[in-house]
Amino acid sequence: MRVLLIEDDYVLGGAIRDHIAASGHGVDWMKRIDEAKLALANVAYELVLLDLNLPDGRGLDLLRELRAALNRVPVIITTAQDQIAVRIEGLNSGADDYLVKPFDLSEMSARVSAVARRYAGNPSPAISIGPVSIDLGRKIVIVGDKPATLTGREWAVLERLVRHRGAIVTKGEIEDSLYAFGAEIESNAVEVYISRLRKKLGRDFVSTARGLGYQVEA
């Protein structure tokens, strides 16, 4: 999953960025609204974490612009303002969830996953594909009756594929979900992660659509 973090606090922003990246997801960190608009114009993000008070404007104004432009990217507001009226304004402006600072990073991850599942059309964290049972919420995979251990990046690739199961996911789309702006990408990185998933989950779990991408059965 590719996440856009819009946060001007360097300490908190760094902690959030590192936590999301440690889960294997690509995250771009912008500290101003103008930077965020440029990023949104160039990348199809799957989730936005949006602070309300930024150096060059209000996060709510950016959110309203997105919704007015029919951009449906999931948005979770993060702010120190815990008044009910502010929460209501944010939700009525099109936010999908709300986190009041300070918040636990594990709770943030759980809410990010829950919102992403809803937008993918599968609010349940439990998925079964052949002999493979996947709990996206708790990050547990059982193959037959044996658990499989995945790295953060392997999880990120798996999530991308199962959230779009039945459809072909291109190599570029997988790379976009794993890497932030400016990150160096090895030419065979995606192939390596797909190979590891096949070894752990079964050779036929991921099929290759030659010249197009990869697919998990619906």
* Neighbouring C-beta atoms of residue 107, cutoff 10 Å: 10
From CA 218, how far away is CA 214, in angstroms rounded?
A: 13
Burial 111-120 (b: 16+ CB within 10 A, else e): bbbbbbbeeb
Last residue of a domain, one of 119, 140, 167: 119
Please return the burial class of 52, using the count of CB atoms within 10 Å of its CB with bins 0-12, 13-18 and 19+: buried
Q: Which residue has the higher pLDDT, 11 or 173?
A: 11
pLDDT digits (tens, 9 = 90+) for 149-208: 998 889 889 988 988 888 899 988 888 878 766 666 677 889 999 999 999 999 999 999
| Same domain, yes or no: 70 and 139 | no
Q: For residue 121, what pLDDT is reported?
A: 63
Indicate which CATH number applies to the domain containing 168: 1.10.10.10
Indicate which CATH number applies to the domain containing 115: 3.40.50.2300
Give yes or no for residue 50 having a pLDDT over 90: yes
- Global pTM reads 0.73
| Same domain, yes or no: 19 and 78 | yes
Question: Coil, helix or strand for 126?
Answer: strand
| Same domain, yes or no: 19 and 114 | yes
From CA 170, how far away is CA 141, in angstroms rounded?
A: 23
Domain containing residue 83:
2-119
- Written as one string, the DSSP assignment of 162-186 is HHTTTS-B-HHHHHHHH--TT----
Q: Which one, of 87, 80, 85, lies nearest residue 101 by Cα?
A: 80
Contacts 24+ apart (CB under 8 A), 65-70: 66/40, 66/94, 67/93, 67/94
| Same domain, yes or no: 45 and 140 | no
Type of residue found at 217: E
| Same domain, yes or no: 111 and 130 | no
Averaged pLDDT score across all residues of the chain: 88
